[in-house]
A = this chain, B = another copy of it.
């Protein structure tokens, strides 16, 4: 039988990531290619304790259908944390629960995008977002990311000339680059977007993971009605529960709720109740400080090795937080070649190409530093240095 799929499926960018991950998973390969938080830092015992309580005390409710917007006490916890941590005037009515912040990508695109609409993205930009948005047939307009945030001239030109429905950015420790917007650029971005009709979609998966433990004020602070934030418990508690959220102005949330209900009724309610109990019984700040400190050490180690042991012409970003950094290889060295040669040498990296919406980035690679211990980083980076040296 021949199946007649929708046009969007024929336009979807061919994903070679899966193949790369398959190859990187081979035995003996030290992988910096993935994007996992360190599983050994998940507080399994703490989660087990509150899970028992939820099932003992409220099991029937936790296992029954629930409402689309999500468990109210969890939404209240999230709102309270925005108020305490960032001084944002968030209320539970502005928060909805989703299946990890990836679902926000799909649903925000769904409520905003008609085919041909312009979406602004960073260059490089998060691959998962580009893939999710692609399903709705937009035209991507990429704004170069500098050390301290978007190129403002290019950003302003995009807003005035292209009037994108929204601009998608990760101001805190971006994936793939690890770059963080300066406060000045956040204010400037908000100023350009004010009354523009373009929404700022602020993906904040990594905002809790600054190595110095200091929060950065989001763009939404300067653009309350024109920005939405997506957040996630995947990096600060546990990804396997697939619980994230959107924090957005009421008119956006109303449409979002319609799309969420049609998409899957509601997110796993059992895990929403577990998470809420866990968050109210645990010193989340202490846990996050510990995780951030460990990621910070791994990041510094990787940066030091890049500076000391790699050939001239190899440069890298210097993340202030998060899980990733971007390495630029000497002009003419192909990241795909480095990938395949690396796997043979027992080290996997992620070629940067798919992070560049309209092409480019051929000599960039993304390195993940959250999910390898010190010894693996040392050994893996030695292997990588050898591989790159062989191409020069």
Which positions in A face B, CB cutoff 8 Å? 1-9, 12, 15, 35-37, 39-40, 42, 44, 47-48, 51-52, 55-56, 59-66, 98-100, 102-103, 105-106, 110-114, 117, 128, 131-132, 134-136, 165, 195, 197, 199, 225-226, 234, 238-242, 249, 251-252, 255, 258-259, 261-271
16 more contacts with CB within 8 A, not counting A47-B63, A135-B262, are A3-B255, A5-B255, A6-B111, A9-B259, A42-B59, A44-B63, A48-B56, A61-B240, A64-B240, A100-B265, A102-B262, A128-B262, A132-B262, A240-B268, A242-B264, A268-B268
Pairs A–B under 8 Å by Cβ, sample size 20 = A1-B195, A4-B197, A5-B112, A6-B111, A6-B117, A8-B114, A9-B111, A9-B259, A44-B55, A48-B59, A64-B238, A65-B240, A99-B99, A102-B262, A106-B264, A128-B262, A131-B261, A238-B270, A241-B270, A268-B271
Number of identical protomers: 2
Q: Are B263 and A263 in touch, CB under 8 angstroms? A: yes
User: Which chain B residues border A258 with CB–CB below 8 Å?
Assistant: 9, 12, 15
Q: Are B44 and A264 in touch, CB under 8 angstroms? A: no
- Least CB separation from A194: chain B residue: B1
How long is the Cα–Cα vector from A252 to B110 in the complex, in angstroms? Answer: 22
Q: Are B60 and A55 in touch, CB under 8 angstroms? A: no
Interface centre among A6, A37, A128, A225 (most CB of B within 10 A): A6
User: Which chain B residues border A197 with CB–CB below 8 Å?
Assistant: 1-2, 4
Q: How far apart are A114's CB and chain B's nearest CB, in angstroms?
A: 5
Known: A48-B55, A60-B44, A63-B44. A265 touches B242 (CB 8 A): yes
How long is the Cα–Cα vector from A262 to B17 in the complex, in angstroms? Answer: 13
Q: Are B44 and A240 in touch, CB under 8 angstroms? A: no
Q: How far apart are A210's CB and chain B's nearest CB, in angstroms?
A: 22
- Least CB separation from A98: chain B residue: B264
How long is the Cα–Cα vector from A275 to B261 in the complex, in angstroms? Answer: 24
How long is the Cα–Cα vector from A303 to B131 in the complex, in angstroms? Answer: 51
How long is the Cα–Cα vector from A135 to B263 in the complex, in angstroms? Answer: 10
How long is the Cα–Cα vector from A113 to B55 in the complex, in angstroms? Answer: 41
User: Which chain B residues border A4 with CB–CB below 8 Å?
Assistant: 112, 165, 197
Pick from B51, B60, B263, B269: contact of A102, CB below 8 A: B263
Q: How far apart are A229's CB and chain B's nearest CB, in angstroms?
A: 16
Pick from B8, B39, B65, B117: contact of A60, CB below 8 A: B39
How long is the Cα–Cα vector from A65 to B42 in the complex, in angstroms? Answer: 12
Pick from B7, B63, B225: contact of A39, CB below 8 A: B63
User: Which chain B residues border A99 with CB–CB below 8 Å?
Assistant: 99, 264, 267-268
User: Which chain B residues border A271 with CB–CB below 8 Å?
Assistant: 268, 270-271
- Least CB separation from A40: chain B residue: B60
Q: Are B12 and A63 in touch, CB under 8 angstroms? A: no
Q: Are A132 and B263 in touch, CB under 8 angstroms? A: yes
How long is the Cα–Cα vector from A62 to B117 in the complex, in angstroms? Answer: 39
User: Which chain B residues border A128 with CB–CB below 8 Å?
Assistant: 262, 265
Known: A48-B59, A265-B242, A267-B99. A36 touches B64 (CB 8 A): yes
Pick from B102, B259, B261: contact of A265, CB below 8 A: B102
Q: How far apart are A159's CB and chain B's nearest CB, in angstroms?
A: 13
Q: Are A47 and B59 in touch, CB under 8 angstroms? A: yes
User: Which chain B residues border A113 with CB–CB below 8 Å?
Assistant: 6
